[in-house]
Structures are given as C-alpha cells and as structure tokens.
Amino acid sequence: MTKEPSPAERQSYQASATLRLHDVRYDPHDIAHCNPLPDGRVQLRIQTEHAIIGGRLLVYDDGTLHTLDLQQLHDCSRWRYWEVLLTPRQPRLGYSFHLLTARGRPYYVGGRGLTSAVETRFELDLSQQPPTTPPDWSQHAAIYQIFPDRFCNGDPDLPLPPGRQVAWGSAPRPATFQGGDLVGITQKIDHIHALGCQAIYLNPIFQSPSNHKYDATDFYRVDESLGGNQALRNLVDSAHARGMKVILDASFNHAHPTFFAFQDVVQRGPKSDYWDWFTVYQWPVSINYRPHVVPPGWDTPAMREYTAYLREIEQQAQIPFVQQDDAGDLFEPNYMAWYDVINMPKLNLHTPACRQYFLEVATHWLTEFDVDGWRMDVAQFVPDDFWQDFRRVCKAAQPDCYLLAEIWGDASHWLQGDMFDGTMNYLFRDLAIDFFADLTLHPADLRDGLLRLDALYAPQVAAANQNLLSSHDVARFLHRAGGSKTKLGLATIFQCALPGAPGIYYGDEVGLSGGGDPANRGAFPWDESTWDRGQLDLTRTLVQLRESHPALRGGRLRWLTAGKHAFALERASDQEKIIVAINRGPRAEKLPLPTAGFEKIFCFGKPATSRRGQLRLAPQSAVILRPSSAP
C-alpha cells in the first residue's frame, strides 16, 4: 500500500486518541487474529481489556475507505474478544482498528500499535497468506486412541520379548507385554465403529524392544509382536471399508540405540557417515551407571524390573555401562538423549541427510500403506523448519492427511498453517479435570477458561484439535474422578458439546480406570460382564448425536448462564442452534434460561424441567435442547 491514510482514516472518531496505555492485543501473524477463509472473507479478532466498549475496523482496499463495526465475541473477567468479518475487494489491503473507551475516548491501533492518529496501517496480502484448512474430516471426527499392546490379543502366536510376557489383564508395568496386536484391533474394529468414531489413532507400532515403542529401531517395519506390516495393511483396509481413518504415531525426535544410524556411530565414531545425525559428547559411546542411586519411586519390583530392562542396552547396542560411585543420576549417557533417557538418543534433524531420511519415512506410510495422518510425539523438541518440511511433503503425498502435534499448553505457534493441523488439547483436559473431577473450578472460572480457549485458536483449528479426557501420558479421567461414573458421564457430555474432535482413550467407554503411567495402560477388559454399560451407551449416544447435529461439530460457542454448580452454553451454526446445560452439583439448580420452543434431544440423570423462563436441572444431570421446529 503506497497511499497515505486519509484524514477520515487517521481519526474516524474525529478526535485524537487517548494515549493512556490500555491492554489491547492483536497479532496479524497469528491466524487466531487474522484468518483468511476459503470463501474469500477474512475473519479478524482483537482482544481488549474491559475499558474498551466497542470499535470499528477501517479497511482501505480499492481506493476508498470502508468501515465495519466490531462485534463482541466473548466477554470474560479479564478480556473482551471482538470479531469482524470482511469481504476484501482486492487481494491486497490495509486496515486499522478504531476502538472506543468507556469514557468515550477513541483508541487507535495501527500497524505500529497505539497511536494518536493512524499513520501506518496493518497490511495484508491474501496472495501470500492462503487459508489454513485442516482436513474436513478431522473437524468432524471422534478419535479413538489405542495403546496397541493393551487393546486385544488377536494372534497369541506372535513373538514377544522372552521373559517379559504377562497374562492379559495383569497390573501394567513399564517393561512387560500383554500381547495386544494389530490383528486384535482389526478383529474388534466393529466395537470402535459402533461408537461412531471416524478415526483410530494408534500409539507407535514400529519395531522396538519396548511396549510403548517411542524408541524405534526401524521406522520402516511394523513390530512383529504387533503382526508386522501386513497386519497394518489389513487394519487400514478394514478401517477404510467402514469409512474410518487410521493415524500413526511416532517420535522423530529420538530413536533406540540399536537404530542403524546410531549403531554405526557406536562402531565407527567420528568416521561414521551418521556422526552428525546425533550429538555425542565423547567417543567411545558409553553410559555412566550408579547402582547406589535410587531415584524417588524406583524402589519397587516394577522399577527394578525396568532398570534391568534398561541394562539390556549394554548387550543390545554394544554400549558399555561404566559403574561410578560418585553423586549423579542413575544412568548418565555421554550422548544427547531426550531428557537423558538412555534408550532415546536424540536425532539431529538439522543434518540434511537425517532430515531427508525422516521426511521419506513420513511419506512412505502415507503412500505405501494409505494411512491417513500422523500424531507426532514431543513436537516442541523438533526444529520448526523440519515440521514445515514435514507438512509440505505429507500434504504433497496425501493432501487430506491429518497432522496432529503433541503440545502441552498453548500450541498456537505450531498451528499457523505451516506445521500442524491440530494438537492434543491438554488445555481442554485441564478444564474438564478441574471442573468435573476435582471440583476446584467455579462455573465463572470455567467460563473464563473455556472462552479464552475458544479464542486462542482460529475456529477451523479449534475444530481439528483433539479434546481428550485421558491418554497414555496422564491418569485416566475415571481415576482422577475417584471412580465416579457420574463425573465421567458429565465430562463426556462436556467433551462432545464443545468445538474440537472428542478423543476417546481405549477403555474409557466401558469404565476402565488407572492412574499415571504405567497404570493408565491397562489391558482392555473384553469380558463384557465387567463393562460399565451406562458409560458405553452414553458414549455411543453422544458421539452419534454430535454426528447428527452440525451445530455440535462446527457451531459457534456462546456461554449463556451459570449458577453455583450449573451452567448452560450454546452451539449455533447456520443450520441449527443447540443448548447444552449441565449441573455437576449435589442439589437441583435453576438457571435463568427461557427454553420455550425448545425440545429435549438428550437427558442425563433425572429430566430437566422448564417453567417461567427458568430451566431446572436435577442434581448431577444434563440436558441438550434444540428448537422444536428443527427437522
């Protein structure tokens, strides 16, 4: 843009702005704030403190000035979020925000921040900033996560590590196997399909001596204990025949010490062609071992067993353990490893050959096995430019593939359209745990957390995030809820009512419990007499209800009202409007919520009643409503 702002554009409120610094946040490089849409419009969002009560967007794109009023999106205790949709007349445009304070003073925000009059605009070139579009299916899916060794043993004859197999249903331990495999997943796929899940996310399956397989020895082979490569082909074919997707999981941050490239380094040192694939502080490669050091929690039979498993690396990888009697860690490698875990030497993806190897791994499984996406472990430890290359090659190989990151916290940096499509949404999980399991959040606090989370990501990204209650890395929700089936039921309703893909961790749907790792990795109980039929039916109903109602999948979120323990929210799309009301409390509550003209499409607990503009919710209950005239 070359033309200077006009007088009308500099001061649309016809007055100089207040220069008192208010907290106003807008980042034109974050798609949560500046979001080009596939239909050609641009969604802009700005975040302000409460001193701002309104405003305008001024757009200059065709030689004339256009003004659009900001609409309030959310109002939290700390922030107001504003939104405006504009339809550009040209692909290049300039714009600025003209805000109004509660004292009636203007507050102008341009390309260089607060100013008394707009002298520099924000500039947007849509030819350089295409829409960010996660796969459509990922924005509507319910995702079923499986830890393969613990789901179903479909072929008891598959080989398992000698001396480490235990009976199905045994207490989970870090180093033992219970015999689950991909054959079993294929045999039980109709259980997953009957839930209404559209995608299966498998924890790692590549060749590895561990049960979790995040320390792969061969990234081109499915472990024989899981059935090998053919078992994956069969599973993918079975899933696709039912209209379901398959997502693989791996760590490209580290590998096992017996990975071919690291073994070459062990044997040849600096002469190895793979020397710069890793960081070795001193050669020969070795591990300091201090048997007199007992880390907290390790003095148990399970952890002594795990220590013995780690000691096997000495023979497996030909890496000597050097016993030390000084202070330090139990194990201390002289090579860089993820969190110094000795069976996970860190990969150097800055090295071109190493990078190319793993980019080819990524595309191999997409093209040769027709899998539908990747969930990438510890994504924040891998260079950003690798993920940018990773996205480029994956989307070229399969444009509709889904790329999911493991990021604990604010994942905005990785969700700008150049790396990942979505994240495992641990921010959502914390809200659900605090409100429903631990009862430490008041509804007003839940409202703040929920609305801030809704504004944190662009809507299409929020829709593609995996909203989980449990996973292989955290205690199962039922455990955190003290075994309360009611709390799990209410949290599942909450999970299926919000933007995002509900993530169901295998067994949660039948009441499987378990604390932190490894207790959260218990064997699926295939004796149906032990199942919580109520939770199973609830999960099926909610996933299928979500599939039947566009508003529950893609509708805008609006907080309606709250009481002491109860709240109501709305999801609204162009097709319909849905109200979800939940009471976690031990007593009935009334919410000021006119529901005349609405009908119940789902109830949990005793039915809700409505009278004189108030919705009465029974203790520990929920209801989902829609307009009675809806089809």
Q: What are phi and psi of 442, to 5 degrees?
A: -80, 155
Q: Which residue has the tokens 């039916």?
A: 537
286: nearest Cα among 341, 247, 333 = 333
- Residue 248's DSSP bridge partners are 374
Residue 555 gets which letter from DSSP? Answer: P
Q: What three-state secondary structure class fits 435? A: helix
- Residue 332's DSSP bridge partners are 288
Task: Kindly state the greatest CA–CA separation across the chain.
Answer: 82
Query: What letter represents residue 389's amino acid?
Result: D
450: nearest Cα among 27, 82, 74 = 74
Residues forming the active site: 377, 406
User: What does the alpha-carbon distance between residue 226 and residue 342 come to, in Å, rounded to a whole number?
Assistant: 24
User: What does the alpha-carbon distance between residue 131 and residue 35 come to, in Å, rounded to a whole number?
Assistant: 7
- Residue 65's DSSP bridge partners are 60
Q: Directed axis angle between helix 485-497 and helix 533-548, to 10°?
A: 10
Answer positive or negative: Cα dihedral of 298, 302, 304, 307.
negative
- In this structure, how many other beta carbons lie within 10 angstroms of the beta carbon of residue 324? 15
Q: Which residue has the tokens 């378990």?
A: 514
Q: Which residue has the tokens 């072929």?
A: 155
Query: What letter represents residue 489's amino acid?
Result: G
Q: Which helix (DSSP H) or strand (DSSP E) does residue 104 occupy?
A: none
Is 361 within 8 Å of 395 (Cβ atoms)?
Answer: no
Q: Directed axis angle between helix 384-397 and helix 352-368, to 10°?
A: 30
User: What does the alpha-carbon distance between residue 470 and residue 504 come to, in Å, rounded to a whole number?
Assistant: 7
Is the preceding peptide bond at 518 cis, omega within 30 degrees of 0?
Answer: yes
